[in-house]
Amino acid sequence: MSPAAGRAENYPIRPIRVIVPYAAGGPNDTIARIITADAFRQRGASFVIENIPGGAGNVGTAAAARASADGYTLVVVTSSFFINPGLHAKIPYDPVNSFSPVTMIAAAPHVLVVHPSFPARDVREFISAVRAQPGRFSYASAGTGQSSHLAGELFKQSTGLDL
């Protein structure tokens, strides 16, 4: 047996650190906990979730980039990982060379919803209602530069709405 194959058999020999660059209790943290709990059940591997929020995910992602490349630190990134380099003049890691992708673990579609009392039952009615009162309505997003923010801005741009 080759040394690499022998080493792979014994991996992991200690807990694997999983950095979530967002606050505990949020969707990314929840997904990381579900995935690691399942991996523990299937493989017996131990994981330690470490939430390092801040800077639209940049603080925790930078901590992962500084970690030893020994297979004992993972980071759960979102679309912000790909968006941040376009929004920030300098980010504290190299998004191309600091990481190797492993797998996609979740997809999060964006959904347009309104309060039940809002006078719209479909997108066409929503656009008409907002156009009738420019500047009166706004939308919520996860924060500037987050994919939900960019989706909202794209919706505004493609519809010409004043949100």
Say if residue 127's pLDDT is above 60. Answer: yes
Residue 1: pLDDT band (50, 70, 90) is: very low
Encoded amino acid at 103, one letter:
T
Which residues have CB under 8 Å from 31's CB, separation 6+? 76, 105, 106
Could you tell me which of 79, 70, 75, 80 has the C-alpha nearest to residue 60? 75
CATH code at 3-87:
3.40.190.150
- The chain-wide mean pLDDT, for the chain, equals 91
- The pTM of the full predicted model, rounded to 2 decimals, is 0.78
Can you say whether the dihedral through the CA atoms of 126, 129, 132, 135 is positive or negative?
A: negative
The pair phi, psi for residue 140, each rounded to 5°, is: -100, 145
**Dist. CA 12–CA 31, nearest whole Å:** 21
Model pLDDT, residue 56: 87
Domain positions in the chain: 3-87, 109-163
DSSP conformation class of 98? S
Encoded amino acid at 28, one letter:
N
Model pLDDT, residue 4: 52
